[in-house]
């Protein structure tokens, strides 16, 4: 199984953006290759993060992709949501200009809370299947991304177009930015509470 193969690193990737732009759909399409029809989706409930293994140049990376848990609705994402992220996917809906205009708010929040300045950002315009209702041109999206020095792609979680590619590009860029994920000093010796006994710490036990 996966555990047997050594994982080079684990990446934390965040989804942000307005409600109903399709963050959860992109996530579901990427991790499970599924798409739920609109009547079956509602505001995100029950999705915390999804895990997917990903290979680059024969090395295995574990991606944990975090959804907003609906906390984007009133812009109450916790600052801890942003901590330790290596990549962020900022999603807007190409058929809703408002969601595109709100990217600046999300960008501002990212810059406030992301501890690492090198964090890789990608702007993604979703729902290109709704071409007839398009309100934001591809050019505008690309322009915005260039201005903010982020990656850019358009996709459709419904038709699959661009989804895999978006995550791949983001991850490749993270892999190319080792400063983001090589153990840096603040994370040295951190403890994650779980049931397993930490290795290499010695027993230190008083018994």
Partner 1 sequence: MASAELDGEKFDVVVLGTGLEESILASSIAEAGQTVLHIDKNPYYGGPNASFSLYQLFEWATSRRDFRQTPLVEILVNTGLSDTPTFVIDTEQPVKSEDNDAVQQLAQYATNPELLPQANRELQNMLQSSREYAIELAPKVALCRGQLVELLIDCGIGEYVQFKGIENNMLLHNGKLERVPESKEDVFASTSLSLIEKRKLMKLLTTMHASTEQFADLIEECKNEDFEQLLRSKFKLDGMLLDAVLYAVARVNGKVDAPEGCERVRKYVMSIGRYGRMAYLCGMYGGGSEIAQAFCRLCAVSGGTYILNQQVTDITCESDGYAIRFDDATVKARRVIMNPIYDLEARTNGTVVSRAICILDQPVLGEDTSAMLSYQSHSLVSLLYMTHATMAVPSGQSVIYAWTTGSLVDTKPLLIEALTRTIVNKGNPLLTVFIEVHELDTEHADSKGIITTCLPDPTIDMDSAVSSAYQKLAHHFSIKQ
Q: Which is nearer to partner 1, 76 or 164 (by Cβ)? A: 76
Q: Which is nearer to partner 1, 78 or 137 (by Cβ)? A: 78
What is the layout of strands, in order, in the sheet containing 7-16?
49-56, 59-66, 7-16, 87-93, 120-126, 151-154
In angstroms, what is the minimal distance from the CB of 200 to partner 1?
10
Q: Which is nearer to partner 1, 137 or 187 (by Cβ)? A: 187
In angstroms, what is the minimal distance from the CB of 46 to partner 1?
6
Q: What angle do CA 187, 193, 198 make, to 5 degrees?
A: 80
Q: Which is nearer to partner 1, 57 or 74 (by Cβ)? A: 74
In angstroms, what is the minimal distance from the CB of 139 to partner 1?
33
* 123 close to 92: Cβ distance less than 8 angstroms: yes
Treating both helix axes as pointing N-terminal to C-terminal, what angle do 23-32 and 163-175 enclose, rounded to 10 degrees? 80
Residues that bind partner 1 (CB under 8 A): 45-48, 69-71, 73-76, 78-81, 83-84, 112, 115, 186-187, 189-195, 197-198, 201-207
In angstroms, what is the minimal distance from the CB of 73 to partner 1?
7
* 22 close to 93: Cβ distance less than 8 angstroms: yes
In angstroms, what is the minimal distance from the CB of 118 to partner 1?
17
The residues facing 15 across adjacent strands are 89
DSSP per-residue string spanning 61-81: EEEEEE--TTTTTTT---HHH
Q: Which is nearer to partner 1, 24 or 156 (by Cβ)? A: 24
């Amino acid at each position: 199984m996966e555990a047997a193969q050594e994982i080079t690193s684990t990446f934390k990737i965040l989804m942000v953006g307005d409600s109903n732009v399709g963050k959860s759909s992109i996530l579901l399409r990427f991790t499970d290759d599924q798409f739920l029809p609109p009547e079956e989706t509602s505001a995100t409930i029950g999705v915390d993060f999804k895990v997917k293994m990903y290979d680059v140049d024969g090395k295995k990376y574990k991606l944990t992709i975090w959804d907003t848990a609906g906390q984007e609705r009133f812009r109450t994402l916790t600052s801890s949501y942003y901590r330790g992220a290596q990549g962020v996917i900022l999603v807007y809906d190409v058929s809703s200009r408002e969601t595109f205009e709100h990217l600046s708010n999300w960008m501002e929040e990212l810059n406030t809370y992301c501890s690492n300045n090198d964090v890789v950002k990608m702007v993604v315009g979703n729902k290109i299947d709704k071409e007839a209702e398009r309100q934001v041109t591809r050019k505008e999206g690309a322009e915005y991304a260039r201005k903010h020095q982020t990656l850019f792609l358009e996709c459709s979680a419904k038709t699959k177009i661009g989804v895999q590619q978006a995550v791949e590009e983001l991850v490749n860029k993270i892999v190319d930015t080792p400063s983001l994920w090589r153990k840096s000093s603040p994370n040295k010796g951190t403890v994650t509470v779980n049931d397993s006994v930490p290795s290499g710490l010695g027993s230190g036990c008083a018994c």
